Structure 1
Amino acid sequence: MASDQSTPPLRELRDENCPGCRIERIKASKTGWPLREIVIIWSLVLCTTLPISSLFPYLYFMVKDFNVAQHEEDIGYYAGYIGSSFMLARSVTSVIWGLIADRYGRKRVLLLGTSAMVVANILFGLSVNFWMAVSMRALLGCLNGLIGTTKAYASEIFREDQQALALSTVSTAWGIGLVIGPALGGFLAQVYTVARREAGNFFKGVLFQN
């Protein structure tokens, strides 16, 4: 009993300079639905999901333009390498990103991951041959340490009574991203095709007009 009475409450043990204690105080001060946190989690998960599914509508035509397949039935074979290189690289580096997030913080990994996703996606879109496309997809997978870090981040910024909401938000955003990704990829591919055709017709008319 004496030892119990001499132990100060947990609130008194919290240090003002302790990052974990500061997060706990912020969570305790919040009431109502955590809409801001939900938007953050959705954005992070969509950044992870869209690169996975957005390329499938135009991947066939991309490989065909590379002229790497000798026969049309071989296009799917090469497309499989491009599609799988992302997940292969991601499976190798996910644990490493988890260790980095534990050591240096979640936010740093999330900011680095989202920035790297933008750069790697642009480089993939600018690929001029098959091996560049495979390399850029692999690089995209290596730098994609978001999903595990996002789950850990969600469990930390949501209150204890909202943990189920936090993890279900991750799962829901993942599913929505898999739905939006192919539609967005197909739409952008169509816009690019139409724009390139119209630009070609315009310059052809300018250069060869009488």
Structure 2
Amino acid sequence: MVGDEHTTQDARSSEREPFLLEHAQKNTNSGRTPLPFGQLSILLFLRFCESATVFSVSPFINELLLSLTGGDATKVPYYASVMDASRSGLALVTIFFWSRTSDYLGRKPILLLGIAALATSMLLLGISNTFWMVVLSRCVFGGFVANTSVIQSAIGEMTDESNRADGFGLLHAPWAVGVSIGPLIGGSLANPHAHFPHFFSGEIWQAFPYLLPCATVAFMSSLGFLVVATRFRETLPRRPISMHNPSDEYIPTDAPLPTRALLTPPVLLTVSCYFLLGLSYLAHNAVQPLFLAMPIPVGGLSLQPSQIGFILGLYGLHNSITQTFLLGPSIRRFGLRTVFRSAISAFIPIFLLFPLMNIYAKDWYFHQNTNSRIIMFTLLVLQLALLSVAEFGFGCIFMYINSSAPTKRSLGSVSGLGQTAVSVARFLGPTIANGMLGVSIERNWMGGYAVYFLLSFLVVGSVIVVGKLPKGVWRAEDR
């Protein structure tokens, strides 16, 4: 009994230090634990697969929706808002369930479910010939993919305080690579019967012009499924059922906290900031591909899917380098909160550059002013550079979320709360942005640019809220 009491006390005393015990025992004399790169690389590959999947549709989604509207360009923003809302709405009601379930069943089963859903959703999108099939594919994505929160939890469990910042610092790099590769796949492989008639002249490629890029990213997700199934080791801490039964059967060391106990002030503030970051980012992501593809007189830049894919691909390459090599030094030099606040603030000029680019595009389109076209592309480069700064926010908020968790057994639930908040943002951001974009253009509010000024105004409020975070990660005394 005495031994059991000491064991219980030891478990409770370790609550605020979530890490994989087996890995932590390999701590070096310098006090810094080496990162488990083998297991970590599997999680990073899953991040890449999800990112590539999300952004592979950007170059052709406007063209796909336009074909489903019968060629009516003014209906595309409304179709896009319904499509995004279906995915986000379903994710809103399921992501916390899957994240919390991972606190009971383990991270590995939920990761397998998520990566399988990624592949399935893209195959459905590739064979979609009606708008409701597109919606179904987005529902599969939103209803079963909880990889982001589970990956955050797994990294928190396989690292300790000596190397956790390094682990989370790597988390955004594969996402940025996916932002690069995804649009390249979507832009270059869409309509293969037209671009590669010698290889893809069959009727299936004409009937389903977006099947090839969708099948390509689905194949990558299938590889991720196999790697997780065969190589990934469970990170959720477990112990033998009984000290008197040295069997191989394992159970969790302690039960997850009740949901009410998770709602501490640090968790609520951090989740709120994650929501505000996600709202700005997802509103931008909803508007950007439509803006790049819309006709110049309507309010866009009239770029082709291949051009959009090339531009976003170059951005992804630049962003992956920026996140990998500049995020960590920036946090060490300026502090976590300063970098996070700067990231949020960057969305203000990002949104205001949309109408400015279109003004110069119209000057080139109507008056053949070559200088205006050069300025337009220069402003686009500036906007993408600012977007890299804005994406620093994700590395920062992951560190805040992980450190705000009350116990090590609540990592999945707290990450799930964060992802639930982002799901609300994923529902509201594209819905508001695309809806307002359609209304602004249709009613010519502020020259069709009202949506961009509205979004910039919302960012100002976000900057104020972010200022309430601590200068560094949450400490035990803060929780």
- Distance in 2 of aligned mates of 1:190 and 1:129: 17
Q: What fraction of aligned residue pairs are identical, expressed as a percent?
A: 24
Deviations 1:152-199 (A, max 9, x none): 011112243111122222233333323332222112215454246861
1:85 is the counterpart of 2:82: no
What TM-score results when the alignment is normalised by the length of structure 2?
0.35
Q: In the alignment, which residue of structure 2 is the partner of 1:43?
A: 45
> 170-179 or 136-145, which moves further after superposition?
170-179
Inter-CA distance 200–136: structure 2 relative to 1 (3 Å threshold): closer
> 112-121 or 44-53, which moves further after superposition?
44-53
Q: Which amino acid aligns with 1:28?
A: Q
Alpha-carbon shift at residue 120 of structure 1 (Å): 1.8
- Distance in 1 of aligned mates of 2:97 and 2:140: 15
Inter-CA distance 58–138: structure 2 relative to 1 (3 Å threshold): same
Alpha-carbon shift at residue 118 of structure 1 (Å): 0.9
Q: In the alignment, which residue of structure 2 is the partner of 1:176?
A: 177
- Distance in 1 of aligned mates of 2:87 and 2:182: 15
Q: In the alignment, which residue of structure 2 is the partner of 1:139?
A: 140
Report 1:128-207 matches (<5 A).
128-189=129-190, 191=192, 193-195=194-196, 199=201
Q: Which amino acid aligns with 2:22?
A: R
Alpha-carbon shift at residue 98 of structure 1 (Å): 0.9
Aligned-residue RMSD, C-alpha: 3.1
- Distance in 2 of aligned mates of 1:107 and 1:48: 16
Alpha-carbon shift at residue 128 of structure 1 (Å): 1.8
SS at match of 1:128: coil
- Distance in 2 of aligned mates of 1:109 and 1:192: 37
Q: Which of 25, 28, 46 is matched with 2:25 structurally? A: 28
1:57 is the counterpart of 2:81: no
- How many residues are treated as equivalent by the alignment? 186
Alpha-carbon shift at residue 59 of structure 1 (Å): 0.8
Alpha-carbon shift at residue 85 of structure 1 (Å): 3.0
- Distance in 2 of aligned mates of 1:190 and 1:160: 49
Q: Which amino acid aligns with 1:39?
A: S
- Distance in 1 of aligned mates of 2:52 and 2:73: 27
| Greater relative contact order, per chain length (Cα 8 Å cut-off, separation 6+) | 1
* Higher fraction of helix: 1
Q: In the alignment, which residue of structure 2 is the partner of 1:208?
A: none
Alpha-carbon shift at residue 97 of structure 1 (Å): 1.1
Alpha-carbon shift at residue 86 of structure 1 (Å): 2.6
Inter-CA distance 111–121: structure 2 relative to 1 (3 Å threshold): same
Inter-CA distance 24–193: structure 2 relative to 1 (3 Å threshold): farther
- Distance in 2 of aligned mates of 1:54 and 1:192: 18
Maintained 8 Å contact 1:48/1:144: no
Q: Which amino acid aligns with 1:74?
A: K
Alpha-carbon shift at residue 77 of structure 1 (Å): 2.5
Inter-CA distance 190–36: structure 2 relative to 1 (3 Å threshold): farther
